[in-house]
Amino acid sequence: MHDKTTCPICKVTKARPILYSRRLPTGYVFRVSCCVDCGYAFQDSITPEQYHLMNTTYLQYSSAMATQEIETTDLYKQAGLQMEFIDRLRPIPNGGRVLDIGCGEGVLLAYCKEIGIIADGVEPSLSHTAIAETRTDGAVYPMFFEDPRLEIDGYQLITLRHVLEHVMDIHGFLDKVRQSLSTDGVVYIELPDSLCPSVFIAPYFVPEHISYFTAASLKRLLSQHGFTVIRMETFRDNPQGTMNYPVIRVLAKKHETKPIFLMGGPIEYIDLVDTFDKYFTDRRRLLDDLDKKLRSNNFDRGFWVFGAGYHSEILFAEMPEWLGDVVGFIDNDVSKHGKTFLGKLVCPPSVGNEIRVDRILLSSIHEKEILNGLMNLDWTSDTVILSIY
Ligand SMILES: [Zn+2]
C-alpha cells in the first residue's frame, strides 16, 4: 500500500491529497495525492485487497470486437501508428522480438504479424488470450506481467500501451521490464496525460488508474529505472484522429550508467491541482447538458442504457437520479444477459425492437463499435441516441 504521506517516487517528501472521488455503487472511495516536490500523482488510499479485486476484473475482460474484421478497427489503426512511431526512431532488427504487455485481444500482435514481426503477448484475461493466440505466431502468456512464474527476456521492444497507470508496484514492474529487454532494447509507453484529462470519455479518475502521470513525472520515473528517453510526445488535441483521449507516448532505451533522479517542482503540483479542479467543473457541465437532452420532449417511456459495465457504474455514481428512468441495460456481452446490473435487467440489443423507448444512452468505452452495431438494428427512426462522449 502506498504510504499516505510519502511519495512513491521521491520516497522522502510529503504528498498532499488533491482529489477525493464520490463513492461508487460498489462502495469504493478513492483518493489521489500529489507529491509537492516531483508532481507525481497517485492513489494513496487503495489497499492490496482492493487492488487484487480490481485485478480480478481484468481477468474477466471479454471481447467487444472479436467478431469484427480486426484490420478495420480503430485499435488496429492505433497499433499501426504506434509501431510506425517506434520504427522511425528505432527500427526493430531482423528477427527482433517484441512483447506487448496487456495485449488484450492481440491487436498489436496482429499488426506485427502483418509486417513480418513475431510478437509475444502477456494478458490476464483468458477470453482475450484465446483470441490473441489466433492472431500471432508468437506466445501469449495468460497472466499478469508481475507474476513471478513469468520469466522472459531478450526482447528488443516491449510495449506498455495504457498499462503502467494501472500498476500498483511501478518500481518492481519497471525493473522487470528492464530485465526482460535485450541490452539494446527499448520500451514504448503510452498512457493518459494527466495535465489534460478529457471529460468526453469514460471517466478518467477511476479506481483502475493508480498513477496520474505527466510527461515530467514519467520521465523522472524512467530515469530512476535506468532508461533514457529517445523521444517523448504529448497529444493534447488528438491530432492522430484515432486516439480516444490526450496521451503521452514515449520511447526509451536502457542506459548503462547509474540511474539519474530529476526533480520536478511546485509549479507542476499547482498545474495538476488546477487541472483536476477544471476537469470536475467541465465534467459536471457535460453531465448537466446531457441531463437536459435526456429529459427533453417525450421522456415518458424512460431510456435504455447501452453498456452494462464499469463505465455505467461510474456514470450512475455521478448521476444516481437517472437510474429511476432506466428501463434496463443493453450489452453485447452474452454472459451478462438475464442478469441484473445496478438493479436492472441486462438484455441483448434485439430487446430494443420489443420494448420501445425514445432515448438510448450509450455508456461504454466501445461507443463507436456499439453505434455501428445499432445502425444494423431496426430501431425506431425517432429514437434519440445520446452519447456520453
Ligand atoms: Zn515525489
Kindly tell me the burial class for residue 122, based on how many C-beta atoms sit within 10 Å of its own C-beta (0-12, 13-18, 19 or more).
buried
Task: Return the percentage of the chain with pLDDT > 90, whole number.
Answer: 37
3-class SS letters over 257-294: CCCCCCCCCHHHHHHHHHHHHHHHHHHHHHHHHHHHHH
pLDDT digits (tens, 9 = 90+) for 31-51: 888 888 778 889 887 888 888
Q: How far is the CA of 214 from the centre of ligand 1 (A)?
A: 12
Q: What does 226-238 look like in DSSP terms, one character per residue?
A: TEEEEEEEEESS-
Q: Is the pLDDT of residue 276 over 80?
A: yes
Ligand 1 centroid, distance to 266 Cα (angstroms): 11
Q: Which residues surround ligand 1, an ion (CB under 5 A)?
A: 7, 9-10, 35, 37-38, 40
Q: What is the sign of the dihedral through the CA atoms of 216, 218, 219 and 221? A: positive
| Distance (Å) from CA 251 to ligand 1 centroid | 22
Helix (H, G, I), strand (E, B) or coil at 332: coil
Distance (angstroms) between ligand 1 centre and the Cα of 191 equals 19
Pinpoint the residues of the chain covered by CATH 3.40.50.150: 44-257
pLDDT at 345 over 90: yes
Task: Please give the pLDDT value at position 130.
Answer: 93
pLDDT at 67: 57
Q: What's the gap in Å between 6 CA and the centre of ligand 1?
A: 8
Distance 213 CA to ligand 1 centre (A): 12
- Write down the pLDDT at residue 3: 47
Burial class, 168, CB count within 10 angstroms (exposed 0-12 / middle 13-18 / buried 19+): buried
**Confidence at 103, pLDDT banded by 50, 70, 90:** very high
State the Cα–Cα distance between residues 120 and 150, nearest whole angstrom: 13
Contact partners, residue 108, CB within 8 Å, separation at least 6: 79, 82, 83, 100, 119, 121, 159, 161
From the CA of 146, how far away is ligand 1's center (Å)? 23
Which cell is 340 given? 441484473
Q: How far is the CA of 37 from the centre of ligand 1 (A)?
A: 5
pLDDT at 4 over 80: no
pLDDT surpassing 60 at residue 363:
yes
CA–centroid distance, residue 220 to ligand 1 (Å): 10
Rounded to two decimals, the pTM is 0.82
pLDDT of residue 266: 65
The pLDDT, as a whole number, for residue 177 is 97
Distance 113 CA to ligand 1 centre (A): 40
As a whole number, mean pLDDT of residues 218-243 equals 79
Burial of residue 217 (CB within 10 Å: 0-12, 13-18, 19+) is: buried
Residues 291, 295: Cα–Cα separation, whole Å: 6
Greatest mean pLDDT range, 59-68, 74-83, 292-301, 307-316: 74-83
Q: What's the gap in Å between 34 CA and the centre of ligand 1?
A: 8
CB of 238 closer than 8 Å to CB of 245: yes
Sequence ranges of the chain with CATH classification 3.40.50.720: 298-387
The CATH architecture to which 44-257 belongs is: 3-Layer(aba) Sandwich (3.40)
Ligand 1 centroid vs 12 CA: distance in angstroms? Answer: 8
Cα(10) to centroid(ligand 1), Å: 4
Distance 162 CA to ligand 1 centre (A): 22
- Going from the Cα of 222 to the center of ligand 1, the distance in angstroms, rounded, reads 13
pLDDT, residue 160, reads: 97
Q: What are phi and psi of 252, to 5 degrees?
A: -135, 145
What's the 264 CA to ligand 1 centre distance in angstroms? 8
Mean pLDDT across the chain:
83
Q: Does the pLDDT of residue 239 top 70, yes or no?
A: no
Domain at 298-387: CATH code: 3.40.50.720
Query: What is the CA(3)–ligand 1 centre distance, in A?
Result: 12
Do residues 230 and 253 lie in contact, with contact meaning Cβ atoms separated by under 8 Å? yes
| CA 218 – ligand 1 centroid, Å | 11
Q: How far apart are the first and last CA of the chain?
A: 33
Query: In this predicted model, which residue has the larger pLDDT, 60 or 133?
Result: 133
Q: What is the mean pLDDT of residues 247-259?
A: 83
